[in-house]
């Protein structure tokens, strides 16, 4: 086994970050994915390092707002009714996770993980060609209505209590920061310590290219099996054959649900579909990412234009995209900023979401060299680098840099 690599299963943003962290810790790495690095969710996410999102989405207030969101054809949530029966166990788990005590515990745990997200990205991209892939210009969340402003103030209190730096903005201060905004707003929040990617897919591809240049191997194959020897994974199995490994990281997004039982885990991931629309350069002159909480989307300035990203579509797994969901984002931009050009491109992808809206990070039960890093829902880009630091710690020093018990991969039961 001397010199055998750690196999990182999954070449999305989380898996690629884990591969880099392990490589920098001195471990040989085998990155395994049938798809090219960054080609799934990483190809179209909002690009926002959202360290302010300390509250899990599984909470009573969010559930109570579902009927109102569904009643609005342009709202941030839609359901594909034919897909819902199969999701009922997931919805029941979500309802249980929304108990106030669990939300408080989840918020504390998530806030601790988020606190290091930007610093860990800086450390992981510490190279002249990689560092410019992130911009550190903060972000703004807007409230259009008085009710939205009240909700924003309530969330701001929770964020501030968990260490998030923020500044309240009056409607006049919002207008000063966003002179192109045509719609009236009731106020907003500025988060000075957030960051954003200049282009998320390029970030993952360039990071993966550096990992390969520094000696890792990319294996473009699906994992079909794992061979155990005692309390260890000794090899991965792919259609190309068996490869001996020193350790395994399961960071395969939605595919982790299929692979989890090989590690003795039940991972109830659902495909939470999102959309984006790209506007051409100059269409929205934004100084930083701007979230429109009541509409459920974010506008992020990127190197090739402005990305409008958001919406949640449930029950859509293995079904054709509903491109009207991307078109809605452009209509929102027109409502807010006046005349806006048509989108230059549209995209859809499926976020891997667990019902309590906390990622699964930690050791697989009974296996000393297998670690799970999946289920990051809306926070994959945000949490990739900090997750990678903890994964590398588990596989090199035998311990993470934080208490990962709230993210225990076995919390949903064993297969």
pLDDT tens per residue, range 276-325: 999 999 999 899 999 999 999 999 999 999 999 999 999 988 889 999 99
pLDDT tens per residue, range 125-146: 999 999 999 999 999 999 999 9
Asked if the structure places residue 53 within a domain, the reply is no
Quote the number of domains for the chain. 2
Ramachandran region, residue 135 (left: φ > 0; alpha: ψ -120 to 50; beta: rest): beta
Asked if the structure places residue 106 within a domain, the reply is no
Whichever domain contains 72, its CATH number is 3.30.9.10
Question: The dihedral of CA 414, 317, 75, 49: what is its sign?
Answer: positive
134-135 and 195-197 as β-strands: parallel, antiparallel, unpaired?
antiparallel
Asked if the structure places residue 325 within a domain, the reply is yes
Residues 283 and 317 in one domain: yes
Residues 133 and 88 in one domain: yes
Residues 240 and 254 in one domain: yes
190, β-bridge pairs? 140, 167
Q: Which 8-state DSSP code applies to residue 315? A: S
Asked if the structure places residue 76 within a domain, the reply is yes
Residues 242 and 278 in one domain: no
Residues 19 and 64 in one domain: no
pLDDT tens per residue, range 346-375: 999 999 999 999 999 999 999 999 999 999
Pick the last residue of a domain from 302, 326, 353. 353
pTM of structure: 0.97
Ramachandran region, residue 229 (left: φ > 0; alpha: ψ -120 to 50; beta: rest): beta
Asked if the structure places residue 81 within a domain, the reply is yes
Residues 324 and 365 in one domain: no
Asked if the structure places residue 390 within a domain, the reply is yes
Residues 215 and 286 in one domain: no
pLDDT tens per residue, range 43-71: 999 999 999 999 999 999 999 999 999 89
Per the structure, the complete domain to which residue 397 belongs is given by 6-42+202-267+357-412
Pick from 240, 379, 283, 314: nearest CA to 75: 314
Pick the last residue of a domain from 353, 375, 399. 353
The tokens for 322 are 């509903």
Residues 226 and 331 in one domain: no
């Amino acid at each position: 086994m001397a010199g055998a690599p750690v196999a990182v299963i999954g070449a999305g943003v989380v898996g690629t970050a884990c591969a880099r962290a392990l490589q920098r810790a001195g471990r040989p790495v085998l990155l395994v994915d049938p798809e090219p690095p960054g080609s799934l969710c990483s190809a179209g996410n909002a690009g926002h390092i959202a360290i302010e999102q300390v509250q899990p989405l599984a909470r009573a207030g969010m559930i109570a707002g579902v009927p109102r969101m569904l009643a609005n054809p342009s709202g941030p949530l839609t359901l594909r009714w034919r897909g819902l029966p199969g999701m009922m166990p997931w919805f029941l788990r979500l309802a249980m996770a929304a108990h106030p005590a669990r939300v408080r515990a989840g918020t504390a745990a998530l806030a601790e993980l988020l606190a290091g997200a930007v610093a860990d990205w800086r450390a992981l991209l510490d190279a002249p060609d990689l560092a410019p892939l992130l911009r550190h210009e903060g972000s703004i969340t807007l409230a259009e209505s008085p009710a939205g402003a009240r909700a924003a103030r309530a969330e701001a209190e929770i964020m501030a209590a968990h260490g998030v730096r923020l500044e309240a903005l009056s409607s006049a201060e919002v207008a000063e920061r966003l002179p192109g905004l045509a719609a009236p707003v009731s106020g907003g929040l500025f988060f000075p310590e957030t960051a954003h990617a200049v282009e998320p897919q390029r970030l993952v591809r360039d990071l993966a290219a550096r990992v390969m240049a520094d000696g890792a191997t990319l294996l473009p194959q699906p994992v079909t099996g794992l061979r155990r020897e005692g309390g260890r994974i000794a090899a991965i199995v792919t259609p190309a054959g068996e490869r001996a490994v020193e350790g395994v990281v399961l960071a395969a997004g939605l595919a982790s649900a299929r692979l989890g039982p090989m590690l003795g885990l039940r991972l109830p991931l659902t495909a939470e579909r999102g959309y984006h629309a790209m506007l051409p350069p100059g269409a929205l002159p934004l100084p930083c990412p701007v979230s429109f909480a009541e509409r459920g989307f974010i506008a992020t300035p990127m190197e090739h234009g402005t990305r409008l990203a958001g919406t949640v579509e449930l029950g859509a797994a293995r079904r054709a995209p509903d491109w009207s969901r991307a078109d809605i984002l452009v209509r929102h931009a027109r409502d807010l900023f006046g005349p806006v050009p048509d989108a230059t491109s549209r995209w859809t992808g499926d976020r891997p979401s667990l019902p309590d809206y906390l990622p699964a990070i930690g050791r697989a039960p009974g296996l000393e060299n297998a670690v799970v890093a999946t289920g990051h829902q809306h926070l994959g880009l945000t949490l990739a680098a900090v997750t990678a630091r903890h994964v590398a710690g588990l596989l090199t020093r035998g311990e993470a840099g934080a208490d990962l018990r709230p993210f225990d991969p076995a919390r949903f039961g064993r297969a």
